[in-house]
């Protein structure tokens, strides 16, 4: 990554210490989303590897993945698919359970949102332990999607999430890393 992009991203991501609990540094991209240059650069960088390729759908993980994913889908002239928490979608859904630090949750998407073999890029703001992203990839693969990549603005590499996604055969693209978080 070029130094100017790293500088723009670092300057626009707010770090909140001891949130949501003691010892955690929460990387908040709401400040990045509110900064026109940083938001534009982030979207451009997420789109760049796929420019000129046929990407049928961009799937975004609730909630910040909706914002980034919608912008990426627009730039790629692709459809957008929301991956939501259980009970939020009104039509026939497919669902997957996944583990969290404090228990189990479920996410779902509309069963007819993606046709088998469609090329899909998964988007979210951050990859940490990878549980949510891993579940989203498995959900997409379960319905036959060709998950071309999983893309995130932020990687917390010490938490190992990238390795979980790559173990599923999906390349991971991130824009910035924060070590030790």
Question: 62-72, pLDDT tens digit by residue?
Answer: 999 999 999 99
Q: What pLDDT sits at residue 163?
A: 97
Once rounded to an integer, what is the mean pLDDT over residues 10-31?
A: 93
Query: What pLDDT score was predicted for residue 134?
Result: 97
Average pLDDT over residues 151-171: 97
Alpha helices in 13-63 (DSSP H): 30-33, 36-47
Give the pLDDT score at 179: 83
Tell me the pLDDT band of 4, cut-offs 50, 70 and 90. confident
Q: Is the pLDDT of residue 181 over 70?
A: no
Structure-token match 């990839």, residue found: 137
Q: What is the β-pairing status of strands 57-61 and 93-100?
A: unpaired
101 is catalytic: yes
Q: Of 27, 41, 45, 64, which one is the catalytic site residue?
A: 64
Each residue's pLDDT tens digit, 78-122? 999 999 999 999 999 999 999 876 778 999 999 999 999 999 999
Express as a percent the part of the chain with pLDDT over 90. 89
Instruction: Collapse the DSSP code of 108 into the 3-class scheme (helix H, G, I; strand E, B; otherwise coil) and give the result.
Output: strand
Mean pLDDT, the chain, whole residue set: 94
Residue with tokens 């910035």, as numbered in its chain: 176
pLDDT at 79: 98
pLDDT for residue 1: 59
Q: Is the pTM of this model over 0.85?
A: yes
Helix (H, G, I), strand (E, B) or coil at 137: helix
Domains of the chain: 53-177 (3.40.50.2020)
Length of the chain: 181
In angstroms and rounded to an integer, the radius of gyration of the C-alpha atoms of the chain is 16
* Average pLDDT score over residue span 144-165: 97
């Amino acid at each position: 990554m070029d130094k100017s992009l790293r500088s723009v991203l670092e300057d626009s991501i707010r770090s909140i210490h001891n949130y949501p609990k003691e010892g955690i540094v929460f990387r908040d991209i709401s400040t990045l989303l509110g900064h026109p240059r940083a938001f534009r650069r982030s979207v451009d960088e997420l789109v760049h590897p796929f420019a000129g390729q046929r990407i049928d759908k961009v799937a975004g993980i609730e909630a910040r993945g909706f914002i980034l994913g919608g912008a990426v889908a627009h730039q790629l002239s692709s459809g957008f698919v929301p991956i939501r928490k259980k009970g939020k979608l009104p039509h026939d859904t497919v669902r997957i359970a996944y583990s969290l630090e404090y228990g189990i949750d479920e996410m779902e998407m509309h069963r007819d949102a993606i046709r088998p073999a469609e090329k899909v890029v998964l988007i979210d703001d951050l990859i940490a332990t990878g549980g949510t992203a891993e579940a989203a990839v498995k959900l997409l693969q379960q319905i036959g999607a060709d998950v071309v990549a999983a893309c995130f603005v932020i990687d917390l590499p010490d938490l190992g999430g990238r390795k979980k996604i790559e173990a599923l055969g999906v390349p991971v693209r991130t824009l910035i890393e924060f070590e030790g978080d």
